[in-house]
Structure 1
Amino acid sequence: MNINNRLVYWSIGLLIVMAVALIYLMPSMDEQSDSLTIIKKGQQVKIFTMEEIKALPAVTRQVTIRSASEGINTYNFTGTPVREVLIKADEEILQGSKEVTVKGMDYFTVVFACEEIMEDDNVLLVYAQDDQPLGDRSSGGTGPFRIIILRDQFGMRAVKYVDTLEVN
């Protein structure tokens, strides 16, 4: 066996090992977590369970979503304002901060100005749609949590599979 063949075999072997390691280390969206992590400036502040989120003041709002893939549909979403979640984690979390980054398990990320988060009845963290849990991605759902922006006409920032809110 010449040196070129050995190099090819070693390269292929190394690629296989790296691929297996990446698959093992990457979080799976099918491993659904019903928790929400709150981070401020890189430091974890709190991890909420679904039960803790549901214990916060709840609102139900009728929202029409315009989607390129699903058309126009109207739903009743139940959840709590994002600002209430953040204040419950730390009463002073938004002081001196400029933005809140919302991250989904599918790596979709949206940044909101703190002013928008603080608006009354606008940015909601929802956990139910038409009185049913959102469900996880493997079951065709959009949860466990989802962001709904009531004053956003097209829903381009409606993050699904939300697992992290980061305040900066």
Structure 2
Amino acid sequence: MVDKQSDPDMHLPFNGLSDVNEPKIEAGTEYTEDEIDRIIASVKEKQIKLGECYYQQGLIKELKLKDNEAYAAFKQAVNCHPDNIEFLNAAGLSGTKVGDYEQAEQFLSQALKFSIDRFGKNHPDTATAYNNLASNLDAQGRLDEAQSFRQCIPCNAQDNAI
């Protein structure tokens, strides 16, 4: 797990994450439905921002060639925002790079599913997701499966993705 307190590279992405004006929950206090909804919305927004911070950490760690730390940060990003295709792809590619093939395959499969659901099969982002999963399968020596995923990439989407 990436620790923003002990890692000097990690302070920058977390700047501005805490907000003095955010709603606070106090024990023993009764809240209206509107107040509860506002608190929930605030927590969800913070979770998305936290995911982005972890994602940025991962990018920083990749630049510093600290692959295991990058992978840990990308996994944290996915934990914060599990339906973010960009986070899933980053975690999957990073996991493949460090040899955590099975977990990486799960991230990449989920990214592909979300990409197909959101964009359809002929979108460049979906082509990228197919290719990312195929790369993971290649790394595992599952060449026939990898090839079958590559064959799913429509030519027009593949050309646009490059």
TM-score normalised by structure 2 residue count: 0.28
Q: Which has the higher helix share?
A: 2
Using CA pairs under 8 Å that are at least 6 residues apart, name the structure with larger relative contact order, 1 or 2: 1
Q: Normalised by the size of structure 1, how large is the TM-score?
A: 0.27
Which has more strand, going by share of residues?
1
Q: Which has the higher Rg, Structure 1 or Structure 2?
A: 1
